[in-house]
A and B are shown apart, each in its own frame.
Chain A
Amino acid sequence: MKKDIKILGSGCTKCKTTYDNVHAALKETGIEATVTKIEDLEEMMKYNVLTTPVLMIDGVAKIKGRVPEVREIKELLTAL
């Protein structure tokens, strides 16, 4: 099943690094996913975040307020 990945963050460098790391992790694992970047504040607040960046996989906030490393994202993606 295709995974649904969302990255929430208002465009700071940390959020961009997260985005790049997610792509790197997807490439290395060969997992297919739709990656959405949510930068609009009003949209972001619907997900009830307090610290950015947030990495959501299939609707669950996995990482909050810090940049996950590629290896970590790979672990999260292959966990299930």
Chain B
Amino acid sequence: MFNWLQYFADWLIYSVFGISSTTHLGDALNFFVFDSLKIFVLLFVITTIMGIVNSYFPVEKVRNFLSRNKMYGLEYLFASTFGVITPFCSCSSVPLFIGFVKGGIPLGITFTYLITAPLVNEVAIAIFAGAFGFKVTAIYVITGIVLGIIGGFTLGKLKLEKQLSPWVQNIINNAQTEEELDEEQLSIIQRLPYILKDAFNIVKGVSIYIIVGIAIGGAMHGFLPTGFFEHYINKGQWYAVPLAVLMGIPMYSNAAGVIPVVQVLVAKGVPLGTAIAFMMGVIGLSLPEAMLLKKVMSWKLIAIYFGTIAFFMIISGYLFNFLL
């Protein structure tokens, strides 16, 4: 599928620049060119598809759908799936949180959405597909959805409403399900230029992270011997997965920056599950997010939220190591 890009990278580095494929530099540069192009192509395609899907399910519709329908637990599945298809920016997480509980959506379902949205989004899917292929991507997406469902369900059962800031509790008590929508009615053809422009802007916005990530990845790819990390991290060490998640949480990066690095970690011998657990810790939980959430909940709830999610990330890490 991406052979033509590999031909291009080979031609550019080995023929045009005349750097031999047997040198570390040639290897690193070739990896860098091929990987960046592949990821940018995938990113643009997937962002556009997501943009089209999203134009039919804007987050306002999702909220109204979830607040109107009680479906005996199925709403967790919907919330998690919606988390995948709607674009997400951590600066929107707080308004979104309040908007959801204000619409009468139970706390557990709101958490489900909040867990899945950053973990599985268009950028993560595109880069993941570029780095690990479609099978691993599919498993990752399903894991992300299931993690959101189980995590949100667990948090919902803990009856944590009392841990929310008083003004948020006030909002919950006055929750109303019906919200009028003032929708701009545009056909898909009319929307397409905007969708393409948005896709382009998203790609542009994350491009710097991708390039830095791939540059680090490329350097490691060319200069570290295969199996380099195997001495330090392998499946036999039970503590590697929890440690990976705990190390990932304080780090703040998005999927774009961290996945190319993770790809190389895996290529050089880190077990895939351990690497993915690390990645989930980096993109799914972060200190800036905790600071934002402080506006709506107590430290205790933030700690419970982070603890629960970290726990399930660790489980997914073990599961990945077991399955792959």
A51 at the interface (CB under 8 A from B): yes
Task: For A49, list chain B residues within 8 Å (CB).
Answer: 95, 99
Kindly state the separation between the CA atoms of A67 and B92 in the bound complex, as whole angstroms: 13
Apart from A45-B95, A50-B92: 11 A-B pairs, beta carbons within 8 A: A10-B292, A12-B89, A14-B89, A45-B98, A45-B99, A48-B99, A48-B102, A48-B179, A50-B96, A64-B60, A66-B198
Total interface residues on A, CB under 8 Å, equals: 20
Q: Is the interface of A mostly helix, strand, loop or mixed?
A: loop
- For B87, B91, B96, the residue with the greatest tally of chain A CB atoms inside 10 Å of its CB is B91
- Expressed in whole angstroms, the minimum distance between the Cβ of B164 and any Cβ of chain A is 13
Q: Which residues of A contact B45 (CB under 8 A)?
A: none
Taking the closest CB of chain A, its distance from the CB of B169, in whole angstroms, is 13
Minimum distance in angstroms from A12 CB to a CB of chain B: 4
Per the bound structure, the CA–CA distance linking A64 and B96 in Å amounts to 12
**Which of B59, B98, B182 is within 8 Å of A65, CB to CB?**
B59
Let me know if A50 and B99 touch, CB within 8 A: yes
Q: Do B95 and A50 have beta carbons less than 8 Å apart?
A: yes
Q: Is the CB of A41 within 8 A of B198?
A: no
The answer to whether B182 and A52 have CB atoms under 8 Å apart is no
Asked if A65 contacts B87 (CB within 8 A), the reply is yes
> What are 25 contact pairs spanning A and B, CB under 8 A?
A10-B95, A12-B89, A12-B91, A15-B91, A41-B94, A41-B295, A41-B296, A42-B167, A45-B171, A48-B99, A48-B102, A48-B179, A50-B63, A50-B92, A50-B95, A50-B96, A51-B92, A51-B96, A52-B89, A52-B92, A60-B182, A64-B60, A65-B89, A66-B201, A67-B201
Contact, CB under 8 Å: B102 / A45: yes
Within 8 A of A (CB), among B62-102: 63, 87, 89, 91-92, 94-96, 98-100, 102
- In the complex, which residue of chain B has the Cβ closest to the Cβ of A44? B95
Tell me the bound Cα distance from A66 to B167 in angstroms.
27
Q: Which residues of A contact B (CB under 8 A)?
A: 9-10, 12, 14-15, 41-42, 44-45, 48-52, 60-61, 64-67
Q: How far is the CA of A50 from the CA of B59 in the complex (A)?
A: 7
Q: Mark B160-195, 1 if CB is under 8 A from A, else 0.
A: 000000010001000000010010000000000000
Q: Which residues of A contact B60 (CB under 8 A)?
A: 50, 64
Q: Please, which residue of chain B has its CB at the minimum distance from the CB of A65? A: B92
Instruction: Give per-residue flags for B121-132: 1 if the beta carbon is below 8 A from chain A beta carbons, else 0.
Output: 000000000000
- Closest chain A residue to B54, Cβ basis: A65
Cβ contacts under 8 Å, B179 to chain A: 48
CB distance from A16 to the nearest CB of B (A): 11
